[in-house]
Amino acid sequence: MEELERILREHAKHYPKMQPTDAVKLIYQNEFGGGHLIRDEEASLNYLRREYAMVEKNASKPLYEEIGNGIVRVNLAAVKEEDLEKLGQDFIRSAAEHKGNLNSFLSKLDVLKKLTAQGVFNFGSNELDVYLTEYEKTGYPLVSHSLEYRAFYKPSYRIIVYIA
């Protein structure tokens, strides 16, 4: 759990606009990977191509960001066009390979609660508890980034299992 603590602290520092849903999304991706069941590989690649075409390219951004558990978020703004197909294949491979489990995920949410109580995030324990109570009622699904996070950081990435 030390790795997760470090990553959550880094993300809180780099993304101060994070809301409870953004922290939960990070932990979900850390545990379950992208959390996507890809039924149509060609449709997944086409969606990636469309999203990539809309992203403002920025080669100065880091290509990937570690989220722990051997997983990274690959930033589409920093991806070279000639590497897009490989990224799409890596995303599909990673979605098929990486599995997590609910008990581990719930333990990781406890780390989030602890760090929130320590004041690591710009949201408090009460706000997180309200969010997690509702989240539990929905069965712990994959969630989207908050409106604040999307507006400020414009996230556009793919989750892959990192192979050096």
Q: Chain centroid to CA 72: how far?
A: 8
Cβ atoms of 157 and 51 within 8 Å: the answer is no
Please name which of 78, 99, 95, 79 lies closest in space to residue 44, comparing C-alpha atoms. 95
Confidence of residue 38 (pLDDT cuts 50, 70, 90): confident
Predicted pLDDT of residue 101: 93
Q: Which of 22-36, 95-109, 135-149 shows the highest mean pLDDT? A: 135-149
Question: Is the pLDDT reported for residue 72 higher than 60?
Answer: yes
Question: Is the pLDDT reported for residue 163 higher than 70?
Answer: no
For residue 70, give every residue at least 6 positions away whose Cβ sits within 8 Å of its Cβ, in sequence order, or none.
Answer: 161, 162
Predicted pLDDT of residue 57: 93
Predicted pLDDT of residue 54: 95
Cβ atoms of 123 and 32 within 8 Å: the answer is no
* Alpha helix stretches (DSSP H) within the chain: 2-14, 20-32, 41-54, 84-97, 102-117, 125-137, 147-153
Confidence of residue 35 (pLDDT cuts 50, 70, 90): low
Please name which of 31, 14, 107 lies closest in space to residue 70, comparing C-alpha atoms. 31
pTM higher than 0.75, yes or no? yes
What letter would DSSP give residue 78? Answer: G
| Out of 10-14, 36-40, 98-102, least confident range | 36-40
| Out of 11-15, 33-37, 38-42, 115-119, least confident range | 33-37
